[in-house]
Structure 1
Amino acid sequence: MIREIKGYHVLIGLLIFFGVIIAVNAVFLTQAFRTFRGEDEPRSYIQGINYNDTLARREAQAELGWTAISTVSETGVRIEISDADGQGVTGLMLDARLRHPADSNLDIVLDLRGDGPGVYATQADIPDGRWTLVVSTPEGPPFEMEQEIWLQ
């Protein structure tokens, strides 16, 4: 026996269809807002205003002629900084962190300490994945570097 499709059958089907779509969109929106808060740089406006200072620091760093070689493994970070003559640069206070590309809550702050002439190192438990090593001097001679890293 074939049953006849009536108007209320179509109405119920449409309500269920759009109800499922709205529920799935609500779940996706909730997850999107929980996992990514939007702006990752908390002071992007101030950073933009001070961009000329950033350019001046980079120019001063280029005049120094320093070079840096970094080595990153699952157990730690080692950076060798040498001046234009190839001599190790000592006595720097470095701010360093491993920045996660998707979530700043996963960033790892590094405590780099002098470990020889021009060598700065620290032990850290670094998970596998993609990271950006960011190193700079908060005061003193201008130095900053960024390096993309992929640990497997």
Structure 2
Amino acid sequence: MSAVDSSARAGFRIKGWHVLAGVSAFFAVVIAVDATFTVLALRTFPGQVSVTPYEDGLLYNRRIARLQAQERLGWRASAGAEPGQVVLVFRDREGRPLPRLTMTGRLQRPATEAGRIDLHFTETAPGRYVATTGRIAGAWDLTAEAQGASGGGFLAERRLTWP
């Protein structure tokens, strides 16, 4: 028979301080990673959206006032993308065509400033205005402004798609 040496060391046993050290190390790593990500995020984007927020707010208020005035006019516009041209049709509150409007407009890509096209509209029929675009394809954002002889103004923004 063999004698068991009671003085021999037992194997590794997890004690309370091991658990405390492990949990503390885990949370220390989580807090260090969170702090690092927070510092990196604040360095790359400090939260400032505009350099002139007050002026931007004033411009936004003017835009709202302009849209309210436009709504009171009761004009309606429809825009269409035809091969090589943009077609706008303007009607008044009763559905009658709006002739003799002064039109300006531009086309630009939704995601970039590159490729902007300034449009020059001509009236081809009462209330129907056409501008040539040349050969274009894909999605474009149209911004068109119309001024009436009586002083009324209208801003139309649409996304048009050419095949």
TM, length-normalised to structure 1: 0.64
* RMSD, aligned α-carbons: 2.3
AA in 1 matched with 2:155? E
Which residue in the other structure is 2:32 paired with?
none
Distance 1:112 1:88, change over 3 A: same
AA in 2 matched with 1:137? A
AA in 2 matched with 1:148? R
Distance 1:147 1:44 in 2: 27
Distance 1:148 1:86 in 2: 23
Q: Determine which structure has more spread, i.e. the larger CA radius of gyration.
A: 2
Distance 1:66 1:138 in 2: 11
AA in 1 matched with 2:152? P
Is the contact between residue 114 and residue 120 of structure 1 (CA under 8 Å) also seen in structure 2? yes
Which residue in the other structure is 1:24 paired with?
none
Instruction: Show the 5 A alignment for 1:2-151.
Output: 47-137=56-146, 140-151=151-162
SS of 1:58's partner is helix
Deviation at 1:68, TM superposition (A): 1.0
Distance 1:138 1:64 in 2: 12
Deviation at 1:49, TM superposition (A): 2.7
Which residue in the other structure is 1:7 paired with?
none
Deviations 1:22-52 (CA, angstroms, capped at 9, x unpaired) = xxxxxxxxxxxxxxxxxxxxx9985543222
Q: Give the number of equivalent residue pairs.
A: 110
Distance 1:62 1:49, change over 3 A: same
Distance 1:100 1:44, change over 3 A: farther
**Unpaired stretches in structure 2, ≥5 consecutive residues:** 1-51
Distance 1:103 1:112 in 2: 24
Distance 2:114 2:63 in 1: 25
Is the contact between residue 73 and residue 126 of structure 1 (CA under 8 Å) also seen in structure 2? no
TM, length-normalised to structure 2: 0.60
Distance 1:119 1:45, change over 3 A: farther
Distance 1:91 1:46, change over 3 A: farther
